[in-house]
Chains A and B, each alone.
Chain A
Amino acid sequence: MPNPPTTIADEFGIALANLADSATGLLTPTLRLGVTGLSRAGKTIFITALVHNLLTQGRLPGFAPLAEGRFIGARLAEYPDATIPRFAYEQHLASLTANPPTWPEGTRRISQLRIVLRFQSAKWWSGMRGPATLNLDIVDYPGEWLLDLPLLGLSFAEWSAEALDRAGQPGHAAEAEDFLRELEKTDATKPATDPDAERLALAFTTYLRRSREHGALSTLPPGRFLLPGDLEGSPALTFAPLPLAAARHGSLYAMLENRFEAYKDRVVRPFFRDHFARLDRQVVLVDTLRALNTGPAAVADLETALTSVLACFRQGEANPLLRPFSRRIDRILFAATKADHVHHTSHDRLEAILNRLVASASKRARFAGAEAESMAISGIRATSEGTIREGGQTLPTLIGTPLAGETLEGQTYDGKTEIALFPGDLPERPDSVFEDGTPVALNFLRFAPPQRLERIATGDIVLPHIRLDRALDYLIGDWMA
């Protein structure tokens, strides 16, 4: 990165905001937990399951405060910042428990939720004071937005060069064709007109969208083009990369350059300053299976995306003296989601692949003094497990209902039939997922949410999960020790 992403003024603002947080948090400590992941990684499910399990004190045997009987209860509270959308927990839960249940809609913008936890500390000096309270602020934001953070250090010319270079690569040819044709027709030095800018921006956005759809994942900034949130159509999102030209005042080039700067200043930087730089803990959810389904190119793409996303974290050991002013992410959890789509005997391999994908990021985190751990988890378990004997061997299978439209061996499922699926063995050597010509094509079908949910004594449903309790214990357990 040529320039650091923040200016001194930003740093000052962040420190002030942190100080304000600390002042209000003197009585009740607040833990800000960031949940991110590229789209469709399972952020919404993760948060919904986590909140539901905390609220109903559901099945969390591995969450120490609950297992040790020190957890008193939790409730949702109003988030202090009235301008930020609330995480629509109730709607998401409703769609999961509807008949038939559906997966809730994904994250499209930043949203937050505050959940107040009551517990008693096991340490004698804090335990003496009786029950304590912890505010857990869950910050949900699209991982695509993180792709923008490196832009803070780039100028328009640098970014254009990078973006055009990528568009010209053979791998992107099919998707970028239209945009490049548009670009050729445009003269960047002629006086700026809005229709020109819109035409270019539209072509550029289409290119980004397409390359994400085809390549399963994308590493292409700017992220707001893919998930605009509430900025859709605004001038700050109406620009496109241009080849370097003599930038006369009033030319198209100058206009787009201004807009790029505005995007950086008005969109990216506030997000960084107000939300991202003030996290204590971070979960990075990774949908490894989807990339594995698509093939080595997608896996490599995912790795690049993760590495560039994770490079933006402000991580490091939390300094107790400096904590009022500066917050750092001192624990990062990398979670391979949808672990319920593979048999539990393959979880080790799934974790190994995840470890391989986030290797450089977790090394960086550890170097900075933060802790990093990886787990294969599933916020809501959609399958059960079984075995099938075929041809003299026992195959570990998953039993569940594939979503309508999923196909395997030429058969398309209607979303109503339950099947037992053997999705293929994950490779033993994590590196092989990057190599072409893997012997077995994997096929992890997407399953519908679980249908018959158990209820606990209070009438609340139990959302089955895989290792959510361990993830939770890792993320907030030490604050409730």
Chain B
Amino acid sequence: MKPIARPTGTVSEPAEATRAPRAFTPDRAEIVETVFEPEAEPDLVAPPPRRMGGFGKLLWTTGGILVSAALGLAADRLIRDLFATNEYLGILGLAVLGLFVLAVIALVAREIFALRRLRVLDSLKEEAARASIDNDRKRAGTVTDQLTTIYAGRADLARARETLTGHLPNLFDGTEVITLAERTLMAPLDACAKALTAASARRVALVTAVSPRALIDVAFVIYESVRLAGAIAALYGARPGFFGFWRLAGSVLAHLAVTGGLVLTDGIVEQLVGQGLAAKLSARLGEGVVNGLMTVRVGIAAMRVVRPLPFDTMPQPTVRDFIPELVKVTQDAAK
């Protein structure tokens, strides 16, 4: 047999295989340049507060309108009724209503300011991290300016502020400025926050160790955690109001959830300490330590959320730092 070849179809020629060089004017080109953002630490980024969906917004808006309409109507009717009863009573009622409205406005304003302070601290942290990474002196300068304004009213930081502002004209590196700010301004606050946390944890451990019912410890842990988070936020200059506090609590919880994995090693230590103690002393005392450590974690999370500078130079507090003291407290309680 002879070899035969038959066409089976056309093979499309790979037109783009080798392309001839061509030159264009640069304005025709679409600039595609990768922007390298400085990588922020994973724990720096607190998860953003949850946004409501469309229906949620609609619900709250309409509900709000209805309630305010009802309230307005009720107030209007009340004043009318008062006037109908007695003119003086009506004037008095009107004055009281005016005062009430004023108080509401003041409260709302305070809440708004509190929320803004929280937001300022958040953005400060980001700015500081960026100034430190980029070694940007100007940006670092604005960060320290803001910090000194935030802490301007704090008598205990007078000396730290003085040191900071005294050194600033001689520093030319953003990184150095941020480091100095952290060392001078944050160090005393950190020490305070640690002391607050330790005290809270001690109380929780004691209460858990001696309380007769589990429900009481749970309630006490929650109460202490809330108080601790508020105190730490106030310490770093956030002074959260009611709504601000909810936002803070949300951030702290989110932070705890996010860093749950990161502090796993710490968690294991807690468990071991707790279990070991539980076996040695009694279940209640061991639980006391574990609950105390829970509070410690809340305290640390609150510190990380509200501290206006990231932990760069100063060591970040860890759960482990608090363990010896807690163990001692519970052991003393056992005696």
A interface residues (Cβ-Cβ under 8 A, vs B): 59, 61-62, 67-68, 344, 347, 381, 464-467, 470
Contact = CB atoms under 8 A, between A and B. Distances in A.
B122 interface: no
A347 B171 contact: no
Interface stretch (B99-107, B148-156, B176-184): B176-184
A67 B183 contact: yes
B137 A465 contact: no
B170 A466 contact: yes
Interface string B255-294: 0000000000000000000000000000000000000000
Which 9 A-B residue pairings sit nearest by Cβ, starting from the closest? Answer: A344-B172, A61-B167, A61-B180, A67-B183, A62-B176, A347-B172, A464-B170, A59-B170, A466-B172
Given A62-B179, A344-B137, A347-B172, 8 more contacts: A59-B167, A61-B170, A61-B183, A62-B176, A344-B172, A466-B170, A466-B172, A467-B173
B172 A62 contact: no
A62 B175 CA distance: 10
Contacts of B171: 61-62
14 contacts: A61-B163, A61-B170, A62-B171, A62-B180, A67-B180, A67-B183, A344-B137, A344-B172, A347-B172, A464-B170, A466-B170, A466-B172, A467-B173, A470-B176
B172 A467 contact: yes
Nearest to B176: A62
Contacts of A59: 167, 170
B1 to A, nearest CB: 70
Contacts of A347: 172
Contact of A68 (B163, B170, B172, B183): B183
Interface string B152-171: 00000000000100010011
Contacts of A470: 173, 176
Contacts of A61: 163, 167, 170-171, 176, 180, 183-184
Contacts of B137: 344
Interface in B51-80: none
Nearest to A384: B169
Most buried by B among A62, A465, A466, A470: A62
A381 B170 CA distance: 9
A481 B163 CA distance: 23
Contacts of B163: 61
A465 B176 CA distance: 14
A61 B164 CA distance: 9
A260 to B, nearest CB: 48
Nearest to B167: A61
A399 to B, nearest CB: 13
A19 B137 CA distance: 46
Contacts of B170: 59, 61, 381, 464-466
Nearest to A343: B172
B296 to A, nearest CB: 19
Contacts of B179: 62
A214 B180 CA distance: 44
A381 B171 CA distance: 12
Contacts of A464: 170
Interface in B159-217: 163, 167, 170-173, 176, 179-180, 183-184
B183 to A, nearest CB: 5
Contacts of B167: 59, 61
A470 B170 CA distance: 12
A466 B79 CA distance: 71
A344 B180 CA distance: 18
Nearest to A462: B170
A67, A344, A381 interface centre (most CB from chain B within 10 Å):
A67
A7 B147 CA distance: 60
Contacts of A465: 170
B177 to A, nearest CB: 9
Interface string B20-42: 00000000000000000000000
